[in-house]
Amino acid sequence: MPWETLHEMLFALLLYLACLLPEVMMDQKTKEVYCRFNTTVLLMGTNLNASSIFNVEWHAQLNGREKVSILTYSPGSNNIYINESYRKRVVFAHMNFSLTIHYVTFSDEGVYTLTIQLLNNQQQIGRTKVTVIIPVSNVHITSETSVPHQGKNITLNCLGMAGTAMSYSWQKCNQPLPIGNRTILSKDNASLTFINIQQSDIGNYRCVAQNVLSSGHKDFILQLCAETGVSPWWSYGIYGYPGYLGYAIVLFYIFSWVKRTRKSSSKGQSDAIYENTAFENTPTNNGKRVPPVYIRHIKK
Ligand SMILES: *[C@@H]1O[C@H](CO)[C@@H](O)[C@H](O)[C@H]1NC(C)=O
Ligand SMILES: *[C@@H]1O[C@H](CO)[C@@H](O)[C@H](O)[C@H]1NC(C)=O
Ligand SMILES: *[C@@H]1O[C@H](CO)[C@@H](O)[C@H](O)[C@H]1NC(C)=O
Ligand SMILES: *[C@@H]1O[C@H](CO)[C@@H](O)[C@H](O)[C@H]1NC(C)=O
Ligand SMILES: *[C@@H]1O[C@H](CO)[C@@H](O)[C@H](O)[C@H]1NC(C)=O
Ligand SMILES: *[C@@H]1O[C@H](CO)[C@@H](O)[C@H](O)[C@H]1NC(C)=O
Ligand SMILES: *[C@@H]1O[C@H](CO)[C@@H](O)[C@H](O)[C@H]1NC(C)=O
């Protein structure tokens, strides 16, 4: 009985090693190459002197497919065999054994191995992992509305029309987007949602889509829709129309009123400041308050 358990344990250990070993080797030696779809990829050879080499082989473990032999070459006899289906689009360098593949497609993705048998029976192995990429292009941002009302939610959806293995990120006014309670990113960062949108959310937003070979972006200018209907009285304060603009006008009036009172007491101030107080022309009975003309227009 214990003998059988030992067998099982040994078997399990072997299985474990069989799965583990190739990975360990890959981590140490495999180079990564990213190339654009339908372009040319150069798989590096070696700088060994050909006179010390018995045989050279290129083969590939294509993603999710069988292992394919691409070519074998023996420098001594100058014999070369190239797989029929690769003959038209690979170039092999006899001096350094590099392999050039033209017109790569997604079916070329995988790990390419160069095995060199030396005359002294030693062996050199080099691996290159090839990933085919379509560059990012045509980045779009869509949303239900471009000019939302204050307090509403709005979602911006970003999408690169072309491009593989893309990741998304967002900027506001060229800075990384500050993530707060009211700005929510989808899991893949492609969608940005504003909850209870406020004046402070107004600005220029940029979606950046990128992959290892390229990046693209699209800008979106977020504005708020001005309220047109009848608003409750409190919305004339911080929240609603005229909001900050209203405050600016009040301050402006106070400012120009103070200027005028000062000027009447002390002469010789600059004309420029005085000229800027254009609102002076509008009839006002009381300089300290919001111009009545403006309020009347809003309340209608
Ligand atoms: C690949 O590129 C060649 C020219 O470089 C072009 O003629 C061909 O149409 C392209 N194929 C694809 C699938 O894009
Ligand atoms: C090997 O030779 C090819 C063609 O002659 C060249 O393009 C490549 O840069 C060379 N070097 C290596 C390390 O493969
Ligand atoms: C390779 O080695 C041989 C002899 O060992 C030498 O004659 C030859 O010049 C070497 N070739 C290169 C390219 O280094
Ligand atoms: C040659 O390449 C084709 C296509 O990749 C593959 O199906 C075939 O098995 C290869 N031949 C050998 C001998 O590996
Ligand atoms: C905005 O989203 C929040 C959270 O998802 C939700 O509670 C709220 O009802 C939404 N508001 C509107 C106006 O749709
Ligand atoms: C976010 O919400 C939490 C809980 O609702 C609150 O404690 C926190 O102060 C909020 N942070 C900001 C920046 O508004
Ligand atoms: C989403 O963006 C944040 C930064 O805003 C980043 O830390 C995170 O890694 C991104 N997630 C994905 C899946 O790209």
Three-class SS state of 287: coil
Residue type, 9: M
Cα dihedral angle (61, 66, 67, 70), rounded to 10 degrees? -100
Q: Report the pLDDT value the prediction gives residue 220, as an integer from 0 to 100.
A: 95
Q: Report the pLDDT value the prediction gives residue 300, as an integer from 0 to 100.
A: 36
Three-class SS state of 31: strand
| Backbone dihedral angles phi then psi of residue 20, each to the nearest 5 degrees | -80, -45
Q: Report the pLDDT value the prediction gives residue 260, as an integer from 0 to 100.
A: 73
Rounded to an integer, the average pLDDT of 227-254 is 53
Judged by its nearest atom, the ligand closest to the C-alpha of residue 181 is 6
Rounded to an integer, the average pLDDT of 166-189 is 91
Of 135-139, 206-210, 216-220, 237-241, which range is least confident? 237-241
- Asked whether the predicted pLDDT for residue 226 surpasses 80, the reply is no
| Backbone dihedral angles phi then psi of residue 276, each to the nearest 5 degrees | -70, -20
Q: Report the pLDDT value the prediction gives residue 236, as an integer from 0 to 100.
A: 46
Judged by its nearest atom, the ligand closest to the C-alpha of residue 132 is 1
Of 18-32, 38-52, 59-73, 166-180, which range is least confident? 18-32
Q: Report the pLDDT value the prediction gives residue 98, as an integer from 0 to 100.
A: 96
Tell me how many degrees the CA angle 123-126-129 measures, rounded to the nearest 5.
155
Nearest to 35 by CA among 135, 162, 136: 135
Q: Report the pLDDT value the prediction gives residue 278, as an integer from 0 to 100.
A: 31
pLDDT digits (tens, 9 = 90+) for 54-75: 999 999 999 989 899 999 999 9
pTM tops 0.85:
no
Measured by CA distance, the residue closest to atom 4 of ligand 5 is 195
Q: Report the pLDDT value the prediction gives residue 273, as an integer from 0 to 100.
A: 34
Asked if residue 98 lies in contact with residue 42, where contact means CB atoms within 8 angstroms, the answer is yes
Q: Report the pLDDT value the prediction gives residue 22, as an integer from 0 to 100.
A: 38
Measured by CA distance, the residue closest to atom 4 of ligand 2 is 93
Gap from CA of 79 to ligand 7 centroid (Å): 52
Gap from CA of 50 to ligand 3 centroid (Å): 8
Measured by CA distance, the residue closest to atom 2 of ligand 5 is 195
User: Is pLDDT larger for residue 80 or for residue 13?
Assistant: 80
Gap from CA of 96 to ligand 2 centroid (Å): 6
- Other C-beta atoms closer than 10 Å to the C-beta of 116 total 21
Rounded to an integer, the average pLDDT of 81-109 is 96
Instruction: Write out the DSSP string of the chain.
Output: -HHHHHHHHHHHHHHHHHHHHHHHHHHHH-EEEEEETTS-EEE------GGGEEEEEEEEEETTS-EEEEEEEETTTTEEEE-TTTTTTEEE-TTT--EEE-S--GGG-EEEEEEEEETTS-EEEEEEEEEEEPPPEEEEEE-S-SSPBTT--EEEEEEEEE-SS-EEEEEETTEEPPP-SSEEE-TTS-EEEESS--GGG-EEEEEEEEETTEEEEEEEEE--BPP-S---GGGGTTTSTTHHHHHHHHHHHHHHHHHHHHHHHS----HHHHHH-GGGGS--S-TTSPPHHHHHHHH-
Judged by its nearest atom, the ligand closest to the C-alpha of residue 195 is 5
Q: Which of 35, 38, 107, 133 to mutate to test the pocket of ligand 1 (most atoms within 8 A of CB)?
A: 38
What mean pLDDT is reported for the chain?
Answer: 78
Q: Which residues line ligand 3 (CB under 6 A)?
A: 49, 51
Q: Cα–Cα distance between 126 and 112 in angstroms, integer?
A: 8
Gap from CA of 93 to ligand 2 centroid (Å): 7
Q: Which of 196, 197, 198, 224 to mutate to test the pocket of ligand 5 (most atoms within 8 A of CB)?
A: 196
Nearest to 170 by CA among 197, 154, 191, 150: 191
Q: Which of 42, 46, 58, 92 to mutate to test the pocket of ligand 2 (most atoms within 8 A of CB)?
A: 42
pLDDT digits (tens, 9 = 90+) for 97-151: 999 999 999 999 999 999 999 999 999 999 999 999 999 999 999 998 878 888 8
Q: Report the pLDDT value the prediction gives residue 148, as an integer from 0 to 100.
A: 85
Q: Cα–Cα distance between 48 and 130 in angstroms, integer?
A: 23
Evaluate: CB of 180 within 6 angstroms of ligand 6: yes
Gap from CA of 182 to ligand 6 centroid (Å): 9
Residue 219: pLDDT band by 50, 70, 90 thresholds? very high
Asked if residue 71 lies in contact with residue 81, where contact means CB atoms within 8 angstroms, the answer is yes
Evaluate: CB of 40 within 6 angstroms of ligand 1: no
Residue 8: pLDDT band by 50, 70, 90 thresholds? low
Rounded to an integer, the average pLDDT of 171-197 is 91
- Asked whether the predicted pLDDT for residue 222 surpasses 80, the reply is yes
Locate the ligand 6 atom nearest the alpha carbon of residue 180 and give its number: 13
Measured by CA distance, the residue closest to atom 4 of ligand 7 is 169
Q: Cα–Cα distance between 291 and 222 in angstroms, integer?
A: 29
